[in-house]
Structure 1
Amino acid sequence: MACCGLRIGESLGVFPEDVRDSTLRIRRQVVRYKGVNGSYAPQYAPLKHRKEGEWRGIPVPKSLLPLIPDLPIRNAIGGLPYPDLLRKSWDRAIKRIDLPPYNPHDLRHKWATVTLTSGVSPHEVSRRLGHRSIKVAADEYGQYGRPTREGRERSRQVVGAAMAPHRLTAGRTPSEPDADPVPA
């Protein structure tokens, strides 16, 4: 989820054959359906905002490739887990190892924030996240991602570098090169 920006159910629907040429072709998710007897059961379903057979491509970092053969994720008895089960197991594990509480979906937000603050276009990030419209990503993450300390500093550096050639200082005319350029 953190390496590809997947939703919980999407991460449960990844198989090794879904990764080709370092690209994940995500095409299914796990959802819970209510059966005729009233009990819930996990099933594969098309992606959100997609029809059966449609997929979206997501570049896979090399560090994730060695884990691909261990997919799909299964429950303790080898069956198909559902998102709520993963969420509950996650919460117990976070509490047990005494980490600050956060949920698995935060990993998806982390991916979006990292990609946006590192210069990936909002349009590209929106498509990789599977949003129907760029407006969803823009509303959720702002124009360049959730505000971060690193993003604030990067903004300062980018603007400083862009404005450095036009900066007037004492004793310098606009046509003279800047003696102290701002690092990018």
Structure 2
Amino acid sequence: MAPLRSLFRSAVAEKRIPESPVALASLPKIKTKRLDEKSLPDWKAVRDIADKIRPDWAISVWLMAGCGLRIGEVLAVRQTDFESGMLRLRRQFVRVKRADGYRAELAPLKARDEGEWRDVPVPSYVWLAVERHVAQHGIGRDGYLLHAHHGGEVLDSNYRTDFKAAVKKAGYGDEPWTAHTLRHFFASSAIAGGVSLLEVSRWLGHATIQITADIYGHLTPDAGGRLRSVMDQVLTGVSVVGAESEDRAGSVLSPGVK
């Protein structure tokens, strides 16, 4: 809609048409679907998939599950992108159709402009996996961790096919898991472990925290319990729990009752 509106504005400015036919058009609201955490793999299933995927691509499973990367991002990771426990993402691979077929080409990160980047913490387990991968499989001709047999870039469609086959080989063929499921695994695990939505949103690279909250907000651990504790403290001036909190809250909300 944005480029379409821009096109018609230019046509109006150049007096090619009297007015824009889309000036008052409203965009449909896209409903964000909440994640069903019970549909996700556990750590054992993640390990099983990593064991069954192509050995030189197994590192991708740990990067997506441990750092929350998208497929295009993990395909564009270089060894030099790691520093001091962080992974700096600058680019992603996208599939583009050319005259000679589909090719993987570099593009800015999703929801980012050219030159923008984001940092993601790298768990020590994932970093050890990266070191092991480099030692055993080396890197591609342009420095990418993941590469095709000929040393070039990996098409996301080829990766998806291989990932789906690995899920089946690992004994989870009835599960609707895709490579993107590992990104959900990362986010849900982080939030359930107490990491704030703001931090998770930043590391996922979401355009807004609202997107993160809509998908994962219900996973915040013991939100109801923390709210009760906070409000008890606000209403009584004392941090209290259990039956005592009911007595104190009652005295505040009903001043006439002693």
TM-score range, shorter chain: 0.7 to 0.9
Paired position in structure 2 for 1:138 = 213
Alignment of 1:1-184 (within 5 A): 1-35=64-98, 37=99, 39-69=101-131, 70=134, 72-99=145-172, 100-101=174-175, 102-144=177-219, 151=221, 154=222, 165-168=240-243
Deviation for aligned residue 1:21? 0.5
Alpha-carbon displacement from aligned partner over 1:106-138 (angstroms, at most 9, x marks no partner): 110011101111111111111111111011111
Deviation for aligned residue 1:54? 1.4
> 2:243 and 2:162 mapped to 1: Cα distance?
59
> 1:166 and 1:141 mapped to 2: Cα distance?
28
* Kept after mapping to 2: 8 A contact 1:46/1:53: yes
Change (3 A) 1:141 1:15: same
The structure with the greater share of residues assigned to helix is 2
Question: What is the TM-score of this pair, normalised by structure 1?
Answer: 0.78
Question: What is the TM-score of this pair, normalised by structure 2?
Answer: 0.57
> Cα RMSD over matched residues?
2.3
> 2:214 and 2:223 mapped to 1: Cα distance?
19
Structure 2 spans left out of the alignment, 5+ residues: 1-63, 135-143, 233-238, 249-258
* Kept after mapping to 2: 8 A contact 1:56/1:128: yes
Deviation for aligned residue 1:23? 0.5
